[in-house]
Structure 1
Amino acid sequence: MSWIVTGGAGYIGAHVVRALADAGLAPVVLDDLSSGVASFVPEGVPFVQGSILDRDLVEKALRDHRADGVIHVAGFKYAGVSVQRPLHTYAQNVEGTRVILLACEAAGVSNIVFSSSAAVFGTPDVPLVVEETAKRPASPYGESKLIGEWMLRDQAIATAESEHPLRHTSLRYFNVVGSADPTVYDVSPHNLFPIVFEALLAGRTPRINGDDYATEDGTNVRDYVHVGDIAAAHVAAAKRLAAGESIEPAYNLGSGDGLSVKQIMDAVVRVTGIDFTPEIGPRRAGDPDRIVATGELAARDLDWKMRYSVDEMVRTGWEARHAAE
């Protein structure tokens, strides 16, 4: 038996693939390489190149590899860009998830771990986000992830009395950083760590967008979680589903306390040895002061914990980026 990892050639998906392999769960990558990197797929791991919108291809992959379940990481994940490209976002994230659910039903595959997002919460009005915090997504991306959660819920209800009732959980990511393998690094042009790293490599000074927020040092506070911990949570969820154990419909993979952008910048100076003072730019529209989530539910069920310090997050990400030079 195996687990199909959609988007398994991407930054997060490739880490999930490695964690599954280390746990003996036989990963299979399905990726169209629109943002993934072929070299991120480990040697010896089966690789099906194609789109999650291709139902025949998805169903064939499930049948050919006798899949025990799907870890659905693939999707269009750029919240800001999704405002300009809503239809593309919905096609990839909503229609793509629908196609995967159809293929799973046809192939008799009952287990799915869905990569959701903190974006389902939008700008919460509470200092600490829990799973039940009101969902007010502020972008088509966030909306598409919330719709994905709804589709899983509804399909589970619809198949409850069938031969293969759907079992599922959604893991809500926050700011995923670092690297657990020196050959895999974050290639996103929109995430803080790669933005800072690319600026330093190009000899530019990194920028902070606003330093007058209502936080301890005036900069935004967010959850930053290591990609290795994220991958481990996926493996724990897959094992729980495959064993038929009880599982929550969604988990917040949050840090519980958060880090400010200035704290991240200070860590970058310490780790890289490149002394710089960040430029201060204007606030970005809609950026809240603080968004931090508790990970208590995931700690209870998925062995979720913060295994890396902020310096280790920066160091592993920086080293992986350097190894790609």
Structure 2
Amino acid sequence: MLEFPMTTDRFTLAPLGAVDGPSFTAYRRDPDTARFQSWTPAWSEADTDTLLASQPSAVRAQSGEWLQIAVRDRTTSALVGDLAVHAVADQPDTYEVGVTLAPPSRGVGAGAEAMGRLVEGLFRQQGAHRVFAVTDGRNAAAGRLFARLGFRHEGRAVEADWFKGEWTTLDTWAVLRSEFDDRHGPAFALRAGDPTEYPALVAIWRRAVDATHDFLSDEDRDAIEAQLATAYLPAVTLVVAESDGEPIGFAGVLDGVLEMLFVDPDRHGRGVGSALVARAVREHGVTRVDVNEQNPDAAAFYVRRGFRTVGRSPTDEAGRPYPVLHLELGEPDAD
């Protein structure tokens, strides 16, 4: 899942908030800004308040929701525009994007810089398969922006949309993960695990646990490690994240439960865990996961990916004194 804030050389990207309201309202009222957009210059402060109150806090796969993302100047924190992401409900790992810039920020590469970072995040962190945009055929600047970012011009629907009192032409632009990787180089690949690499996976487990599970006693840590290659890893279906021919993380799945997910600490924050979870859910039917209560960062990670806590056990599955939270994939609690 996308992690905010995201940064570029000049900008910080984060969900649109109340602090952005006045500037957001001002440029939405600009006739040139509204010309090719779904709103009109009659946009009001109340409209902004309604949008902020109704939008989600994160991009959740297949939610059907739109998230408005503020593009702020890194030096001044001034709002220079916003990006929009739509998690398409009826297609897995598919996201629609859009961009709006305040008039002073046009023509200086701000749109390409900000949208390029967002698209990278959708592929690298969110686990997107396809990212697309639909633009008004008269909006040549938008078309040039998406072409510059490597989007294919998939098609043109001529006078197909009755929009603001006239028939308008729509262009569709899209890029697949495979195309993005061909252009930028893959950050990592996902594949099935193999018993011959158990030693490498055990080493990843140890480094990850040493970095994140400081509540485990040394004795328990060693005992679990001793059983990984002989008992735990053979019992699950493995998905491995690989970079430059070497494993960098893995997930283990059994009967719809994500039994394990560990990423080399040197690769934390690069979308490896998100991609592994997305693959486990999409291809292996994962709907449940247990998390140590003493590892709140892990619980928060799963909550951001649509899981919610449905129960708690005072000990782990082996009876050790480490409380466990039981999470299920479903509708998130209201923010």
Give the structure-2-normalised TM-score: 0.23
> Which structure shows the higher strand fraction?
2
Name the structure, 1 or 2, with higher relative contact order (CA <8 Å, separation 6+): 1
Q: Please state which structure has a larger fraction of its residues in helix.
A: 1
In our comparison, the structure showing a higher alpha carbon Rg is 2
Question: TM-score, normalization: structure 1?
Answer: 0.24
